[in-house]
Amino acid sequence: APDAAGASVAGAEILDLRAGTYLQLMGGSFPGLPDTEDEAREIKSILGAPDASQPLQLKEAASRSNVLRFNRENKLNQYRYLVFACHGILPGEVDFVTQPALVLSHPDPSTQQGGFLTMADVLGLQLNADLVTLSACNTGRGKLQRGEGVIGLTRAFMFAGTRAITVTLWSVESKSAKTLTTGLYHNLKSGKNLAESLRAAKLRMIHREAGEYYDHPFFWAPLVMMGDVS
């Protein structure tokens, strides 16, 4: 990843990363990410998602058990767009978690166990989405397997049924991640296709229209798109 050491936004050191390595900085717990709730609410507003469709699962409701319940009840496959805005972890960053995972409500309020939605969990989902957005750290990374490529969350969500997915290649700063994803959906709503929507969101950051420091590749470059992006 590009080196962003010493970069700052509005004079404040950038520490607000959506990464599992944050555990080491915060004494073994995952810090809250208030930007993620704003991110989810803004995307809901952009898309005009009706409340009857239960478009928002926030805080304790954003749990592994709820994702799996929605899947059992055949609700997940009714959504065209799915956005996970949370922490992301890689194998070895958390004890006993041996697969790439999204950190949902932790501990899970229903089971009081770990709130990690793992690659294996995702492989069991049934989706029919045009786009899944994983707005978390390192979601595009995984194990490089000879003859197969990278085995991780990207492949798992594609296997589960999404036609396209946006993932990150390194640890993302929270506010710039929100800027990228909301920009993507604004552009998508305006009629651009998936690839054009992401490109336009990145160009806005490169041209400093979204913040003075966001022209650095650390902020705009980590989010990439896979699948049918037309």
17 within domain boundaries:
no
218 within domain boundaries:
yes
* Domain total in the chain: 1
* Eight-class DSSP state of 230: -
23 within domain boundaries:
no
Q: Which residue type does 117 have?
A: L
Domain that residue 76 falls in: 33-227
Per-residue pLDDT of the chain (230 residues; tens, 9 = 90+): 333 333 333 333 444 666 655 555 444 567 788 899 999 999 999 999 998 888 899 999 999 999 999 999 999 999 999 999 999 999 988 888 999 999 998 888 888 888 999 999 999 999 999 999 999 999 999 888 888 888 899 999 999 999 999 999 999 999 999 999 999 999 999 999 999 999 999 999 999 998 888 999 999 999 999 999 98
151 within domain boundaries:
yes
Q: pTM value? A: 0.88
104: three-class secondary structure by DSSP: coil
**Cross-strand bridge partners of residue 151:** 143
